Structure 1
Amino acid sequence: MLKYFFAVCLALMLATAYAQQERVPDTVKVGAYVISVHDINFHDKEYTIRFWLWFVYDNADFDFSKQLDIPNAKEIEPPDIIVDSVEGKSWAIMKMKCTMKEKWDVQDFPFDQQHLKVQIENALFDNRSLVFVPDLKGSRFDEKEAIDGWTIKNFQVLSKSNDYETGFGDSTVTGQVFSTFNIEMDIERNAWGLFMKIFIGMYIAFLIAIVSFTPHPSELEPRFGLPVGGLFAAVGNKYIIDSVLPESSTFTLVDTLHAFTFFAIFMTLVVSAIALKYHDSGRTEAALRVNRIGSRIVVVSYIFANLIAVVLALR
């Protein structure tokens, strides 16, 4: 009887060990070499990336030419594929071109820094069957040609998990977890040239408006016509910039600087109106004094407010 007991225990131990061995997923070594990041489109919330992708694995059931998925891509062009072997393992190399979805952070545009991520999965095998192991040594980006006008920082490849809270039609399963291979990087730019290009129209509009302080307070037409013309120019500049940026519910640097400009132009009209009122009542000296002090307050306040907004965006 004791022999049967030991035999059953041994059988259970072997079965448990075998089951645990069966649950060990296959590992796939995966790496990437980023060729270029281009066609960055803020308005359509997308960009294009070209990169080499390679897989080294043992399991013959893995066919990445058919099972590859990039969930955060808008479009994936059919890749060029090379299949070979290295050190007795299957070796698949793919040249990829993808149009990626991206939620751009334009809070500090054009002094913005963006985080890009390409998430790669096997669409057929979850993490019970397949786990990605990143090739940290071989994964790189082309430092000369990768991206124009931006600098790539914090480039990294890493393995993560993606949870799907569904059984995809299998009522016995409440969810699945897939291993992912992520290509991640931060990009930033020296934006002073772009800053001057997009805001030069706004600042010229403000200069046009403050020219109205130079005529005598009695000169009605230039005192009120110039600020109104500058206001329309600033509004037009705002619409032009907004056309290249995505819709945002937050108050961005672009919104802040234009709001300062609109308010400053309004204050030039207020100063002119007060000076004109004093002049019409025969208080010419008071009108000139209001014009002189008001103009200085408007100009200094506008410059100071712009400097603070830009400095905060640069932090």
Structure 2
Amino acid sequence: MPHSYGGQADGRRGFPAGLRSLAGALLAAAAAVLSTLIIATPAAAAVPSCKVGAYVTDLYEVDPVRRTVDADLWLWSLCPRKDLAALQRLEFINATKVSLTEPSSEKVGNEYWTQVKVSGTFRQNFDLTNFPFDKQVVRIRIEESALDESRFVYRADVKNTEYNPRIHLDDFKITKFRIGVVSAPYRTNFGDPRLKQGGSSRYSQLVIEFQLTREDLTSFGKYVLPVYVAFLVAMISFLIWSKDDEVAMITRLGILGTALFTIMLNLRTVDEALGTLLNVTLVEEIHFISLVYVLIGVANTTYIMRLLTDPMGRPAARRINNRIFAIATGLYLIANIVAISLTVSF
């Protein structure tokens, strides 16, 4: 009986051992097949690319009215093959005019190093809303003009790209600088039969970017000084009284008219100088606040004249005048402080 039990036990132990052997053989076969498939499947071909960098030798003529900036720079490319010739197909997307020297190229090791000098005028989207505490971003966009992203891309030479530290701008200082590559989408394939018909396309684009921070506030003082003088004159008008009420009120209106004319004339000058007819800058906000103050003075004087037609209305006229003067002047000062503070902290 014990022998019989032991025989059955040996048979049960042998069955799982057989399964383990079979499973091991199947796993080995599967691994071999998978390895064959991986080796047989070709790796996706990498898109040809060139490393492209820049050295900006000069940045000048920052013109907020024309919304342009002039720049001189060296561009270079490092390509694994001579036929890639990255600098032969450059398109300066935001250039008004641009000139290039003849590219120079030489083989260095297993790569082809090419350089070209570029000078041009480049359109910008300047925002003067926060003038004179504004920061402007200047971009130079350079794009591959022939080969879409499936056939060629740029790689930014971040380590070697720089700008000339001796660049001097009249009103700004350079606070940030960088270079990068972006994908530029187009809602057309430009008729390329190699691309999906009726589809879109993408091209590699190199972006050189400066951040400029305004540091010269002289122009701000020139623009707002006439306005604040007009405000002081308008403020004084509230304090004019005379035994002859008619003379006093006519004098007030004359002063307020002069202040109004000064503000409007200076506002036109600012619009022409900054090219901000479609925007409202801090300087223009100060003009508008001052304009409202002067108009309040005109309305107050007109009302006081009506009260003074009644001999019994003189005390009330003085009381109302002083109250409006205090409220209007206080609100004017607060509005200026808030407007300037919000612009500076933006």
**Short-chain TM bin:** 0.7 to 0.9
Q: Is the 8 A contact 1:79 1:97 kept in 2?
A: no
Q: Evaluate the alpha carbon distance shift between residue 170 and residue 53 of structure 1 in structure 2; reply closer, same or farther with a 3 A threshold.
A: closer
Match of 1:102 among 124, 143, 146: 124
Shift of 1:11: 11
Q: Which residue of 2 aligns with 1:7?
A: none
SS at match of 2:230: helix
Match of 2:301 among 260, 272, 284: 272
Q: Is the 8 A contact 1:77 1:96 kept in 2?
A: yes
**Match for residue 190 of structure 1?**
215
Q: 1:128 — aligned with what?
A: 150
> Offset of 1:85 from its aligned partner?
3.1
Tell me by how many angstroms 1:190 deviates.
Answer: 2.3
> Do structure 1's residue 287 and structure 2's residue 309 form an aligned pair?
no
Describe the shift of the 1:191–1:314 C-alpha distance in structure 2 as closer, same or farther (beyond 3 A).
farther
Alignment of 1:1-315 (within 5 A): 17=42, 20-21=44-45, 24-79=46-101, 81-170=103-192, 172-173=195-196, 174-216=199-241, 218=245, 219-247=248-276, 249-282=278-311, 283-315=313-345
* Greater mean alpha carbon deviation, residues 115-124 or residues 227-236: 115-124
Equivalent residue of 2:256, what SS?
helix
> Is contact 1:72-1:100 (8 Å) kept?
yes
CA distance in 2, matches of 1:90, 1:266: 71
Please identify, of 177-186 and 189-198, the stretch whose mean Cα deviation from structure 2 is larger. 189-198
User: C-alpha displacement at 1:117, in angstroms?
Assistant: 1.6
- Tell me: CA distance 1:207–1:13, structure 2 relative to 1, closer, same or farther (3 Å): same
Shift of 1:130: 1.9
User: Structure 1: 5+ residue runs without aligned partners?
Assistant: 1-9
Indicate if the aligned counterparts of 1:132 and 1:179 stay in contact, CA closer than 8 A: yes
Q: Which moved more, 1:154-163 or 1:212-221?
A: 212-221
Counterparts in 2 of 1:86 and 1:98: CA distance versus 1, 3 Å: same
TM-score by length of 2: 0.80
Q: Name the count of aligned residue pairs.
A: 304
Structure 1 counterpart of 2:232, one-letter code: L
Name the CA distance, whole Å, in 2 between partners of 1:180 and 1:187: 22
Partner Cα separation in structure 2 for residue 228 and residue 189 of structure 1: 35
1-side partners of 2:330 and 2:226: how far apart? 19
The alignment partner of 1:77 has SS state of: strand
Q: Give the secondary structure class of the aligned counterpart of 2:301.
A: helix
Structure 1 partner of 2:13 = none
Question: Secondary structure of 1:36's partner?
Answer: strand
Unpaired segments ≥5 residues, structure 2: 1-35
Give the letter aligned to residue 320 of structure 2. V
Larger Rg: 2
Q: Which has the higher contact order (CA 8 A, sep 6+)?
A: 1
Write the letter of the residue equivalent to 2:321. Answer: N
Question: 1:81, 1:206 → 2: CA distance?
Answer: 60
Query: What SS does the corresponding residue of 1:17 show, helix, strand or coil?
Result: coil
Q: 1:143 Cα shift?
A: 2.4
User: 2:101, 2:315 → 1: CA distance?
Assistant: 78
Sequence identity (%)? 24
Counterpart of 2:55 in 1: which secondary structure? strand
What TM-score do the two structures reach when normalised by structure 1?
Answer: 0.87
What's the RMSD between the two structures over aligned residues? Answer: 2.5
